[in-house]
Amino acid sequence: MKPDRLWFHRGDFLDCVYRLFTRFWLFFLILVLCFPAIAATPRFDFTLENIRHPVFSIRSAGIKLIGAPSPTLEINLGEVAIGKQTWHGLRLRCNPVHIDRESMNCNTGTLQIGERFMTMIFRLSLQHKQFVLEIRPASNKSKEKWRLEVNWQASKWQGVLQVVNGEGKFLADLLPQGDDRIQVHQAILNGNIRLSGNNASVSALSARLGISKLSFSDASGLHAGEGIDLQLDADAQQKRNDWQWRGKITWPEGEIFWQPFYFSGEGHQLTARGTVKDERINITQGEFNLAGTGKADFSAVAGIADQSLQQAWLSARDLELSALFGSIIRPLAVDTALAETEAAGQMNIDWRYQGNDNQELIVGLQDVSLTDAHGRFAVERLNAHIPWNSNEKRDGSIRFSNAQMVGIPLGETYIPIGTDGMRFSIPRAEIPVLDGKMLIENFVASMQASGWQWQFDGLLAPISMEKLTESLHIQPMFGTLSGTIPRMSYANSIMTMDGELVFGIFDGVAVARNLALSGPLSLTPHLTMDMAMYHIDLDLLTRAYSFGNMQGRVDVEIDDLELINWEPVKFDAKLASSAGDYKRRISQAAIKNLIALGGGLAVTAIQKSFLGLFEQFGYAEIGWSCKLRGSVCNMGGIGPATHDGGYMLIKGSGIPAITITGYNRKVDWPELLERLRHAIESGNPIIH
Amino acid sequence: MYKQLVRFMMLVSLGCLLYAGTATAVDFEANTPAVTRLKQNMRQRHGQLVPFYDSGAVGLTRDGLIVLRDANAVPLSGRQSVNSLVAAENQDRNALYREIALANNHPEWEGNIRSTFAQRWIASARSGWWYQQENGSWQRK
């Protein structure tokens, strides 16, 4: 609302109405005084072409007084404009109108505003110092009535507007409208508004109004309400140069969608009191009670002229997070992982705003649980105290009893945090992960032009690979995951790791490097890294997978590994026997599984003949390579191709020895995995 | 001799053009794990969106996304969930275009892939659904 329309504050419009009313009365007094002359010539016709005022303008105003002794009064206004709103064809007719020196009465009048016809009664009594105006619609099934009564003594006056089943849409159409205007489709008003004042100024007002069946919307439907009932109770009094006011709005029924929020009326209540002074509205004490969520106390100071919020304070205790999440947080987080998160618990908020800036925000969480609908993360019994100040450092903490991240369970954790403007830090935190832990040091997050960035140094204390792979629902592995993380960083939506992550696996050592992960909680997480494993014990490996026994040691190098949605789409992998002196044996079952896996693998006819005779075979070297591109694995073996175009996977040695050669260079990777899965699960490979 | 040379040159040029065309053809059916996951997700959501396409509440935009174009066609209590559906669908669509471009080893093709998909979505839209024309206006199919 523009300041020049705040009539109670500026008084221009009221002043104008008062003057108009006075002049209108003077005009009629002149008419009355001249009545004998009028009676002699039973017609008075007076036309004003233009009446202009900064607030309103009237064109073609005609006043007619016809006939005697019971004259008819007719007032026709061709066009009335107030602000941007214009009405055409306003017509007032009183037949008859009784006019004498003390009074003017109209008991059977009609008022026409455009297409709308109303019956009208008015009485003006100078003796009783009273003016009464009563308007009802012409076809009045709803028993609609608007009654204005004004009484005055000397310079003091008081008025009461009483509304019974008032058509609110008509009133709303009178209000100034913008281009993106909200249309009121229906509203029914009941109640009264009382005003009192001195001369042209208002000194007090009170309103007890009920608005029912309110429906409104803008053209797009993104701001709309339906079936709304509201109860308004407000008082205001002028004390010297300022106004003191109090008000209460109760919303028991109906629904509102205000993009992106949706609320239904369940007894929400807003109460406030304050002052209006020096072009400022001051809410000294306010309370907003959102049914089902909780209540917030607030105060604020707003400038009327520039429509600015100059300072504000809000404090809320024990807000129900489940309701708050559904109605406010989730709609604001549609593009984040929180969009499909259910929450429970309580929340405290303290917020201070001053000088066009947020000064302080303190968020407290009590026994909160967060659960992602897709099972990507969950937190239980989360308690937090997170203070933030625009100018000073603050210390807070986060504590949770247990959690899970992409299926990996996390134990009870305490995280101290520091805030400094838009910079957040965690000096040190230990997070139990399965049977080990993750140590985070020097965590710093800050808001940059490209978005949030963070980084930390870390350490992984031994975590069981068996438990980890079980949690991730992937092929089981044995060993431990541990090592230092020199620097983990997140910027431009990509998480990267500097240095090497070293972990023990199957009695060997694995090294991960050049790790980059984007969208870890999205539908399409991307992971790229290089990985190498040294001195892996084949005995432990094959026993873990029930693949048939192999003894020996291998080194594996996987370069340019790329996982999309945790599935490999690209890598260059090489597996070769480790250097050194160790036992090199392969069981009959393992050989059969290898043959089954490869499809095109072959052993010599002589070897086939005694394959069933021995349980164990000796070998000198194992070699396998795979360049995965999409779903196709381009395979190779030990050294260059054999004379018949194959590639040697196992080079036999000793007695009995076995050599296995592959011939299929291109293998469908998902099919290979399926065969491996089948071989591991059944222990009975499919022989091709 | 001159004519033969010209014919040869034209054949070579045509061959180069055909090769270039083949070499730069986008594989819209690229089937990476990400594309598979996104398509599966979008397929599951499609059933929930159909009533809103039918009522005209949701329309297909010219840039391969969807938008809540007439919220008045949805009851107030349902507008928030339609908003969420639209946001989730657009998130997946944007990811789909990006992933197909990545699967083709040409991230810079994302814009063209998006345009092609926009046309495909509109072509496969049912009669009565609303789509955005090139000039930005809305048209009922």
Q: What is the pLDDT of residues A384-395, one digit of tens each?
A: 999 999 989 999
Give the mean pLDDT of A552-566: 91
Contact state of A221 with B72 under an 8 Å Cβ cutoff: yes
Regarding predicted confidence, which is higher, A388 or A9? A388
Contact state of B77 with A630 under an 8 Å Cβ cutoff: no
Domain count, chain A: 2
Give the mean pLDDT of A526-542: 91
Residue A548 maps to a domain: yes
Q: How far apart are CA A214 and CA A185, in angstroms?
A: 8
User: Which of A87, A105, A140 is the last residue before a domain boundary?
Assistant: A140
What's the pLDDT at A269? 96
Q: How far apart are CA A668 and CA B140, in angstroms?
A: 45
Q: Give the model's confidence band at A443: pLDDT under 50 very low, under 70 low, under 90 confident, else very high.
A: very high
Burial classification of residue A560, based on how many CB atoms lie within 10 Å of its CB (0-12 exposed, 13-18 middle, 19 or more buried): middle
Regarding predicted confidence, which is higher, A484 or A132? A132
Contact state of A257 with B79 under an 8 Å Cβ cutoff: yes
Contact state of B71 with A222 under an 8 Å Cβ cutoff: yes
Contact state of B88 with A339 under an 8 Å Cβ cutoff: yes
CA of B105 to nearest chain A CA: how many angstroms apart?
A: 11
User: Which of A140, A174, A201 is the last residue before a domain boundary?
Assistant: A140
Please report the residues numbered 60 through 119 in chain B whose beta carbons come closer than 8 angstroms to any beta carbon of chain A: 68, 70-74, 76-77, 79-80, 83-84, 87-88, 91-92, 95, 99, 103
- Residues in chain A, how many? 688
Which residue range is the domain that position A3 belongs to?
1-140
Q: Looking at A29-33, A293-297, A381-385, B24-28, which range is the least confident one?
A: A29-33
With beta carbons less than 8 A apart as the criterion, state whether B77 and A255 touch: yes
pLDDT surpasses 60 at A358: yes
Average pLDDT, chain A: 84
With beta carbons less than 8 A apart as the criterion, state whether A530 and A514 touch: yes
Cα dihedral angle (A373, A379, A382, A386), rounded to 10 degrees?
-80
Rg, Å, chain B Cα set: 20
With beta carbons less than 8 A apart as the criterion, state whether B118 and B124 touch: no
Contact state of B83 with A331 under an 8 Å Cβ cutoff: yes
Contact state of B71 with A260 under an 8 Å Cβ cutoff: no
What's the pLDDT at A608? 59
Closest residue to B77, CB basis, from A262, A330, A335:
A262
User: Which of A140, A171, A198 is the last residue before a domain boundary?
Assistant: A140
CA of B141 to nearest chain A CA: how many angstroms apart?
A: 21
Give the mean pLDDT of A22-28: 56
In chain A, residues with a C-beta closer than 8 Å to the C-beta of B110 are: none
Q: What is the pLDDT of residues A72-127, one digit of tens each?
A: 888 898 888 876 677 788 899 998 888 888 888 998 899 887 777 889 999 999 88
Domain boundaries, chain B: 28-140
Q: What is the pLDDT of residues A48-83, one digit of tens each?
A: 888 887 767 888 888 888 876 778 888 898 888 876
Q: How far apart are CA A268 and CA B132, in angstroms?
A: 40
DSSP 8-class letter at B108: G
- Asked if A258 reaches chain B (Cβ–Cβ under 8 Å), the answer is no
Terminal-to-terminal C-alpha distance of chain A: 82
What's the pLDDT at A639? 76
Contact state of A569 with B33 under an 8 Å Cβ cutoff: yes
What's the pLDDT at A348? 97
- Asked if B38 reaches chain A (Cβ–Cβ under 8 Å), the answer is yes
The overall pTM is greater than 0.80: no
With beta carbons less than 8 A apart as the criterion, state whether A423 and A393 touch: no
Tell which of A183, A214, A334 to mutate to test the B interface (max B CBs under 10 Å).
Answer: A334
Tell which of B35, B43, B80 to mutate to test the A interface (max A CBs under 10 Å).
Answer: B80
Report which residue type is found at A444.
V
In chain A, residues with a C-beta closer than 8 Å to the C-beta of B95 are: 522-524
Give the mean pLDDT of A414-435: 94
CA of A173 to nearest chain B CA: how many angstroms apart?
A: 21
pLDDT surpasses 50 at A522: yes
Q: Give the model's confidence band at A143: pLDDT under 50 very low, under 70 low, under 90 confident, else very high.
A: confident
pLDDT surpasses 80 at A577: yes
Number of Cβ within 10 Å of residue A603's Cβ equals 19
Closest residue to B34, CB basis, from A224, A331, A564:
A564
Give the mean pLDDT of A560-583: 90
- Asked if A612 reaches chain B (Cβ–Cβ under 8 Å), the answer is no
DSSP string, A255-311: EEEETTEEEE-SSEEEEEEEEEETTEEEEEEEEEEETTTEEEEEEEEEETTTTEEEE
* Contacts within 8 Å (CB) and 24+ apart, A472-479: A472/A406, A472/A407, A472/A408, A473/A407, A474/A566, A475/A545, A475/A680, A476/A544, A476/A545, A477/A505, A477/A506, A477/A544, A478/A505, A478/A506, A478/A540, A478/A541, A478/A544, A479/A503, A479/A504, A479/A505, A479/A506, A479/A507, A479/A508, A479/A510
What's the pLDDT at A548? 78
Residue A467 maps to a domain: no
Residue A222 maps to a domain: no
Cα dihedral angle (A204, A209, A214, A216), rounded to 10 degrees?
0
In chain A, residues with a C-beta closer than 8 Å to the C-beta of B79 are: 221-222, 257, 259, 262
Contact state of A524 with B95 under an 8 Å Cβ cutoff: yes
CA within 13 Å, CB half, A377: 14
Helix pair A588-598, A669-682: axis angle to 10 deg: 150
Region of A165 please: left (phi>0), alpha (psi -120 to 50) or beta. left
What's the pLDDT at B122? 94
In chain A, residues with a C-beta closer than 8 Å to the C-beta of B83 are: 259-260, 331, 334
Q: Looking at A30-44, A156-170, A668-682, which range is the least confident one?
A: A30-44
Tens of pLDDT, residue by residue, chain B (141 residues): 445 544 544 444 434 333 333 345 677 777 788 888 899 989 999 999 999 999 999 999 999 999 999 998 999 989 988 988 998 899 999 999 999 998 888 989 999 999 999 999 999 999 999 999 999 999 999
CA of B97 to nearest chain A CA: how many angstroms apart?
A: 12
Residue A11 maps to a domain: yes
CA of A261 to nearest chain B CA: how many angstroms apart?
A: 7
Residue of B nearest to A670 (CA): B33
Q: Give the model's confidence band at A469: pLDDT under 50 very low, under 70 low, under 90 confident, else very high.
A: confident
Tabulate helix, strand, coil % of chain B (nearest 5). Answer: 65, 10, 25
Closest residue to A334, CB basis, from B41, B74, B83:
B83
Q: Give the model's confidence band at A659: pLDDT under 50 very low, under 70 low, under 90 confident, else very high.
A: confident
pLDDT surpasses 90 at A253: yes
Judge if the upstream peptide bond of residue A69 is cis by omega within 30 degrees of 0: yes
ipTM of the complex: 0.73
Judge if the upstream peptide bond of residue A96 is cis by omega within 30 degrees of 0: yes
What's the pLDDT at A7? 36
CA of A336 to nearest chain B CA: how many angstroms apart?
A: 10
Q: How far apart are CA A92 and CA A74, in angstroms?
A: 6
Tell which of A342, A523, A668, A673 to mutate to test the B interface (max B CBs under 10 Å).
Answer: A523
Q: Give the model's confidence band at A682: pLDDT under 50 very low, under 70 low, under 90 confident, else very high.
A: low
Q: How far apart are CA A294 and CA A215, in angstroms?
A: 26
Give the mean pLDDT of A182-200: 90
Residue A590 maps to a domain: yes
| Interface size between A and B, measured as CB pairs under 8 A | 79
Q: How far apart are CA A510 and CA A499, in angstroms?
A: 14
Residue of A nearest to B72 (CA): A221
What's the pLDDT at A542? 81
